[in-house]
Amino acid sequence: MSGQGDKRTWRVGVAGLGTVGAGLLNFLSEQPDFAPAGGRAVVTGVSARSKSRQRPVDISNLPWFDDAAQLAASPDNDIFVELIGGSDGPAKVAVETALKAGKPVVTANKALIAEHGAELAALAEAQGVPLLFEAAVMGGTPAVKMLREAMVGDDVKSLAGILNGTCNYILTEMEASGRPFADVLADAQRLGYAEADPTMDVGGFDAAHKISILAALAFGCAPNYAAAEIEGIDQIDILDIRMAKDLGYRIKLVASADRSPDGVLVRVHPSLAPLNHPLAQAGGALNALFIEGTRIGRIFIQGPGAGSGPTAAAVAADIADVMTAATRPVFQGPAKSLAPFTPVDPRKSVSRAYMRFLVRDEPGVIAAVSETLAEAGVSIESFLQKPVEDAGGVPIVLTTHAVAESVLISAIDKIAGLPAVIDRPRLLRIARI
Amino acid sequence: MSGQGDKRTWRVGVAGLGTVGAGLLNFLSEQPDFAPAGGRAVVTGVSARSKSRQRPVDISNLPWFDDAAQLAASPDNDIFVELIGGSDGPAKVAVETALKAGKPVVTANKALIAEHGAELAALAEAQGVPLLFEAAVMGGTPAVKMLREAMVGDDVKSLAGILNGTCNYILTEMEASGRPFADVLADAQRLGYAEADPTMDVGGFDAAHKISILAALAFGCAPNYAAAEIEGIDQIDILDIRMAKDLGYRIKLVASADRSPDGVLVRVHPSLAPLNHPLAQAGGALNALFIEGTRIGRIFIQGPGAGSGPTAAAVAADIADVMTAATRPVFQGPAKSLAPFTPVDPRKSVSRAYMRFLVRDEPGVIAAVSETLAEAGVSIESFLQKPVEDAGGVPIVLTTHAVAESVLISAIDKIAGLPAVIDRPRLLRIARI
C-alpha cells in the first residue's frame, strides 16, 4: 500500500459491474471530497462476467480479472468489494478468499450474509478485518449501521419493515389502479422495478434474506435464513386490497422479527397495516423499518431501498468505515458469541388477523360464520359483508382480536367446511406495529 | 488503565447527574452484555452540583468531585462524559480540560456544540481523541451518526425536522384539545414536558442549537448558531391551527437547513406541513428528520427525542464508539476544513406561505385583499373566509404560491394598511418538505 505520512491511498478491487458496481466506480472517480481519515480510495482492479458489455462507466483503463476470486487474492488491492450477488458460487468463494488473505470486505450481498453470515463473521474476526454490508439491506437507508452501532446501548425487542421495493411498488400500484397482480407485475418488469424472473422478490425470499440479517444484528444471534417463515404477494387479490381499505387497512409485505423469552420468530407475510401508520404510508418503491428497543422505544426510518445512487453511497460509507479503522465485530457481538437462535413455533404466535370468505347469497350465512368463529375461540373486532360485482359470490371480511395462530388456522378450516362458503377462506395477518 | 490481553476496562467519569446521568449510571451497572470490542465500561468518578440530592441511582460508592473540571483532569478516568449542559460555564471548561488532557469526550450538550463546536473539534483532533455528541440531537434517535457516517458517501442538500419534543407536544395537544397555548404550556410544565422556564424550548432556541449541529454535519461547515433564524411557538393562536387544518395543513415547529450555491440557510419557524406528510404525522413528543441527499434521495427518521432511557442509550452508543477506536473527524471532515458557511439572506428565500387576517364584516373586503396581493406580486393558491365565534372579526386565511420572502413581507405591510383589516396579519411559512 502507498501513503504519504498518515494519509493513505486505499486500493479497491470491485467484483460485479452491474448497476451498483458502475455507480460505485463513478462515485469514486467523481468525488474529490471523499477522503475518510484523510485517505483516498482508488479502484485498482475489476471483475465481472463479461468484459465487453456496454456499461455506464469506462473500465478500459482498469486491470481486468475474469475470476472474482483472483481479484480477491490479488496483492494489488487493499479492500475487496463484492457486488456479484448470490448466496453461493463465485461471490462466496471470492469473499472467503479475500477474508483469508486478511483483506477487509464490503458487500451488498444479502443472500450471502443471510445464509453464511455467521461463518464469514468468524473468518473475518479471526483475521481481524471488517466485513461490512450496509448496501445489502434497505439500499441507501442505513439500517445496518443503526442496528449494529447506534442500538448497541439498547436491547431490541422487535423489528417490522418493508424491505422489498418491488413488492411495495406492486402493491401500491394495485391499490392505485385497481388492476390485478399479474398486470401490475408485467408493468413493473417493463419499468425495471421487477426482474424477468421475479420470484426472489414477489415470493418474499429477498425480504426474508434482509430481515434475517437485521434480526441477527438486533438480537445478537447468528443469521438464520432457514428458520424464516416466508409468504409472498403473488396470491394477493385486488379484492382484498379494496376490502382491507374499507376496514381501515393497507396490505403491505411486512418482514418482522420478534424476540421473546421463548426465542426468535422471523417472518415475511402480506399483512394489514392501519392506513395512517407510517409503514402503511411508505408507498411506491420505498423501504421502511420500525425498530423497538427496550430503552429507546420506537424508531422509524424510511428511504430508498435500491437504485444505483443510494446503494453506491451505502457501499462508499462502508469503505469509509474501513478507512477509519473501527475495530468492531461484524454483527453486534463477537462471532463466537452469536448464539443460534431458538426459533419460536409460529403456530403459537398471537396476532390479530383479517379473514375473507366468499359466500353464497343465502339466509343465515352471517349467523353460521359468526357462531363458528365464537366456538373456535376467535373474537371478532370488525365485520363487513358487501356485495361486489364479479366476485363470484358475496365477500365477507372481518378482523379478529388477538388470538394464537393455531386457533386461527383451526377456525379457517371449520369455516371452509360450511355449506354456504364457496372456497377456502383467505387469511392475512394484521401487522403488530 | 487496566486490561486483560486485548480486553480493556475503560474508566468513565460522568459530570451531571440529572435524568440522563442517572440513566447512564444505571445502564452501565445493569448491562453485563455491554462489552464493545470485548471491553468493559465502568464509572469511576462523578460530579454534580449537589452531592446529597435525592437521585434514582446510588452514587455513595463512587468518588465524588465538586468540580467537573477536576473530574475531567483526573487520571482515574479514560473517558469524560459531560451531561451538565449550557454553552459556557462549567461544561465548557470541563470539556476543554478533558480534551487538553488527551481524553475522549462524550457529551449531550447541544448548546456547547452548536456555539463552540468548531473550536472544540480542532482541540479534539489536535489531541487525536474523539468528541462525540449523539445525545445532543434527537435523543435516542441516531441522527448524528447517520449524518456523520452513513451520509459520508453523499452530498446532503437539505434537512427539515422536528427537533424539540416540548414544542411538538404542545402543538399536538393544542390541536387535539382546542385549548390555547398558555393553558397547554401550563399542563406541559405540570407533566414534565416543559421546564419551569420554558424559553429555550418554546422560543425555538433549543431546536436552533440542534439544527445548527446537524447542518454542520450535513454540509461540512462549522456550526454557526449565530446565523440561525429563530421563531418559536409562543405566538401560535389556536385559530391558526384550526384554519390551517381546514386548508389541509398542520402547524409544526420546523427546523431546516438548506445548502445552495449562495450559501447555507438555517432556520426555525412554526410552519405548515401537509396533513399526510410524515413530518405532520410525527406527533406528541416525537422528534423527526428528513434528510435529502444528492445520490441517496430522501431519508426520513423519527423516534424519541428525549427521556432518560433513549438519551442514556445514545450516550452508551458513543462510549461504544470510543471503545472501538474509530479514528474519525468530529464532524464529517477534519476540523481545519470546516469552512464558516456563507449565510444566505433569508429575505431572498423563496417559499409558499400561509397568511391569516382578521377583517371587519363589510362589503368589498375580499376584493381589496386579493387586489393588494396581486399588485404585490403574490399569487394565491387557496383562500378561505370563514366566520368563527369570538374571533374578534372574520378570519380570512390563504396560502400563496412560491414567492420571495421580501415580497411576502411587503404584501403583509400593504394589507395591514387596508381599512377593513383589524390587526397585523399573521404569516407562517409552508414547509418545503
**pLDDT of A22-74, one tens digit each?**
999 999 988 877 888 778 999 999 999 988 888 888 898 999 999 999 999 99
Catalytic residue of the set B51, B210, B252, B386 = B210
Does residue A154 sit at the B interface (CB-CB below 8 Å)? yes
* Residue A137 with chain B: CB contacts under 8 Å: none
Rg over CA atoms, chain B? 24
Specify the DSSP element, H or E, that contains B106. strand B105-107
B317 contacts on A by Cβ (under 8 Å): 149-153
* Cα atoms in the Cβ-side hemisphere of radius 13 Å centred on A295: 28
Kindly state whether B314 is in contact with chain A, defined as any CB-CB distance less than 8 angstroms.
yes
Residue of A92, A103, A110, A210 marked active site: A210
pLDDT tens per residue across span A263-291:
888 999 999 999 989 999 999 999 999 99
Whether B320 sits inside 8 A of A153 (CB atoms) is: yes
Asked if A317 and B152 come within 8 Å (Cβ–Cβ), the reply is: yes
A300 at B interface, C-beta within 8 A: yes
Residues of A in contact with B34 (CB under 8 A): 152-153
State the average pLDDT over residues A328-332.
65
Gap from A135 CA to chain B (nearest CA, Å):
11
How many angstroms separate the first and last alpha carbons of chain B?
Answer: 49
pTM of the complete model: 0.88
Mean of the pLDDT values across residues A327-353?
Answer: 72
> Chain A closest CA to B362's CA: distance in Å?
42
CB contact under 8 A, B153 and A304: no
Backbone phi, then psi, for A133, in 5-degree steps? -150, 40
Chain B residues lying within 8 Å of A35, measured CB to CB: 333
Whether A125 contacts chain B with CB within 8 A = no
DSSP three-state, residue B95: helix
Tell me whether residues B321 and A278 touch, CB distance under 8 A. no
Residues 6+ apart with CB under 8 A from B136: B107, B108, B109, B110, B113, B144, B210, B213
Q: Taking CA atoms, what residue in A is nearest to B24?
A: A153
Contact B398, B380 (CB under 8 A): yes
Tell me which residue has cell 396579519: B425
B328 interfaces chain A, CB cutoff of 8 Å: yes
Q: Report yes or no: B297 at the A interface, CB cutoff 8 Å.
A: yes
**Predicted confidence pLDDT, tens digits, chain B (433 residues):** 333 334 689 999 999 999 899 999 999 988 877 888 778 999 999 999 988 888 888 898 999 999 999 999 999 999 999 999 999 999 999 999 999 999 999 999 999 999 999 889 889 888 888 999 999 999 999 999 999 889 888 889 999 999 999 999 999 999 999 999 999 999 999 998 899 999 999 999 999 999 999 999 998 888 889 989 899 999 999 988 998 998 889 999 999 999 888 888 899 999 999 998 999 999 999 999 999 999 889 999 999 998 888 999 999 999 999 998 765 666 666 777 766 666 777 788 888 999 998 999 888 888 899 999 999 999 998 888 888 888 888 989 999 999 998 999 999 999 999 999 998 888 888 887 7
pLDDT of residue A340: 65
| B105 near A CB under 8 A | no
Cell of B139: 435523543
Contacts of A159 in chain B (CB under 8 A): none
pLDDT at B1: 35
pLDDT at A301 over 60: yes
* Interface mutation target, options B299, B311, B318, B321, chain A, most CBs of A under 10 Å: B299
Give pLDDT tens digits for A192-233.
889 999 999 999 999 999 999 999 999 888 888 998 989 999
SS3 B222: coil
Closest in A300, A309, A327 to B295, CB measured: A309
Cβ–Cβ below 8 Å for B312 and A153: yes
The shortest C-alpha distance from A312 to chain B (Å) reads 8
The C-alpha of B416 sits at a distance from chain A's nearest C-alpha, in angstroms, of 40
Separation CA B187–CA B168 (nearest Å): 14
For residue A296, CA distances in Å to A300, A432, B139 come to 12, 18, 9
The two counts, helices (H) then strands (E), for chain B are 14, 19
Q: Which residue has the cell 445514545?
A: B314
What is the per-residue pLDDT for A7? 62
pLDDT at position B250 is 93
CA-CA-CA-CA dihedral for A47, A48, A50, A54, to nearest 10: -100
Which residue in chain A is spatially nearest to B322 when comparing CA positions?
Answer: A326
Task: Domains for chain A: give ranges and CATH numbers.
Answer: 2-136 (3.40.50.720), 143-304 (3.30.360.10), 347-430 (3.30.70.260)
A210 catalytic residue (yes or no): yes
Residues of A in contact with B324 (CB under 8 A): 326-328
Residue A3 or B70, more confident: B70
Asked whether the beta carbons of residue A301 and residue B299 sit closer than 8 angstroms, the reply is yes
Q: Closest approach of chain A CAs to the CA of B402, in angstroms?
A: 26
What residues 21-50 of chain A have any CB closer than 8 A to a CB of chain B? Answer: 27, 33-38
B299 vs A contacts (CB less than 8 Å): 140-142, 301-304
Using an 8 Å CB-CB cutoff, list chain A residues near B302: 278, 299-301
CA distance B149 to chain A (A): 7
Cβ-contact B162, B253 below 8 angstroms: yes
Instruction: Count the residues in chain A.
Output: 433
Across the interface, of A154, A325, A329, the residue whose CB is closest to B327 is: A325
Contact yes or no for A34 and B153 at CB 8 A: yes
Shortest distance between the Cα of A154 and any Cα of chain B, in A, equals 6
Mean pLDDT over all residues of chain A? 90
Q: What is the average pLDDT across A161-174?
A: 97
Q: How far is A202 from chain B (nearest CA, A)?
A: 24
Residue B109, phi-psi category: left (phi > 0), alpha (psi -120 to 50), beta (remainder): beta
Residues in chain B within 8 Å Cβ distance of A315: 153
Say what the pLDDT of residue A174 is: 97
Query: Cβ contacts (< 8 Å) between A304 and chain B: which residues?
Result: 296-299
Question: Between β-strands B249-260 and B229-230, what pairing exists: parallel, antiparallel or unpaired?
Answer: unpaired
CA distances for B80 relative to A427, B90, B91, B94, angstroms: 55, 14, 11, 9
Q: Provide the chain B residues 216-235 that lie in CB contact (below 8 A) with chain A.
A: 220
A&B contacts, CB < 8 Å: 176
User: What one-character DSSP code corresponds to residue B137?
Assistant: S
Q: Do B327 and A33 touch (CB under 8 A)?
A: no
- The DSSP code sequence of A81-137 is EE----SSTHHHHHHHHHHHTT--EEE--HHHHHHHHHHHHHHHHHHT--EE-GGGS
How far apart CA A79 and CA B334 sit, in angstroms, is 23
Q: Do A310 and B324 touch (CB under 8 A)?
A: no
A339 touches chain B (CB under 8 A): no
Neighbours of A34 (CB within 10 A): 18
Number of H-type helices and E-type strands within chain A: 14, 18
Rg (CA), chain A: 24
The DSSP letter of residue B113 is H
- pLDDT at res. A327: 59
Residue among B318, B324, B323, B314 nearest B23 (CA): B314
**Closest residue of B to A140, CA-based?**
B296
Strand, coil or helix: what is B432?
Answer: coil
Q: Calculate the alpha carbon distances from A335 to A128, A257, A371, B406 in Å.
A: 12, 20, 53, 60
ipTM here:
0.84
Q: Which residues of B touch A220 (CB under 8 A)?
A: 33
CB contact A334 to B (< 8 Å): yes
Nearest Cα to Cα of residue A241 among A164, A188, A160, A179? A179
Q: How far apart are CA B246 and CA B398, in angstroms?
A: 11
